Amino acid sequence: MMIVTTTSFAQYKLLLIASAVSSQEAKLVSLDWLAEGQSWSESKSLAPLKKRHNLCDEDFKFIDKNSLSKEKPVDTLLLTTITQLDQYLAGERQQFDMTLDWSLGTPFQQSVWRALQQIPYGQTISYAQLAQNIGKPTAYRAVANANGKNPFSIIIPCHRVVASDGSLGGYTGGLDKKRLLLDIEQN
C-alpha cells in the first residue's frame, strides 16, 4: 500500500508518496509538484509507480497531512519529510535526511541522482559537468534525461543543474519552481 499526502510549498503544492518496507521501516517513493487545481490522483508520478510495482488505483491511499499519525512508520516518514521541506523553504535546512526508494531508476539514472546529491547547496553545475562527474563526459543528453526522471524533486537537487551557457535549462516542475528553489539557496 502506498500512502499519499500533499503539502504546500510556497505558493505551490507537493505530492508525497511513501510505502512501508516492514512494520518498522518506510521509504519515500516519490515527491513531485502538482499543477494548480490538479488532484493527487491525476499526478504523472502514479503511472511509473503502478507499472514498476504492479499496482492499481486501490493500492494508493490518500491521507490528509493533518490526519497522519506518528504511530505509523509511513505516516511518520511523510511528516518528517514535510517538516524538512518547511525547514528548507525557510532557509534552515540544506540537506534532507530520509530513506528513499530508488527502485524507479535504472542503474544509470541512480548514478546521476547520486551525483546530484553531491552538488553543494547554493551552487549550480552544467549538464556537461554532471556527465563528467559520473565518468560519462559525452552523455550529457542522457544525464539531462535522467535528471528529468528524478522522482524526488527538491530532495535530490536536480534544480541545481543548468545549461552550459548559464541559462536555467529545463525543469520537470516548471522553470518558475526551479527559479524559486535556486532563489531559496542563494539567499
As a whole number, the mean pLDDT across the chain is 94
Q: Quick one: pLDDT at residue 169?
A: 84
Binning pLDDT at 50, 70 and 90, where does residue 119 land?
Answer: very high
Q: Quick one: pLDDT at residue 187?
A: 81
Look up the pTM and report it: 0.94
Say whether 158 is catalytic: yes
The whole-angstrom separation of Cα 174 and Cα 54 is: 29
The whole-angstrom separation of Cα 53 and Cα 49 is: 6
Task: State the catalytic residue, choosing from 34, 158, 161, 181.
Answer: 158
Q: Quick one: pLDDT at residue 153?
A: 92
Region 160-183 average pLDDT? 91
Q: Which three cell numbers stand for residue 151?
A: 522522482
Query: Does the pLDDT at position 170 exceed 90?
Result: no
First to last CA, the chain: 39
Tens of pLDDT, residue by residue over 96-116, are: 999 999 999 999 999 999 999
Nearest to 76 by CA among 87, 68, 86, 66: 68
What are the chain's domains? 2-90 (no CATH), 105-185 (1.10.10.10)
Tens of pLDDT, residue by residue over 5-51, are: 999 999 999 999 999 988 889 999 999 999 999 999 999 999 999 99
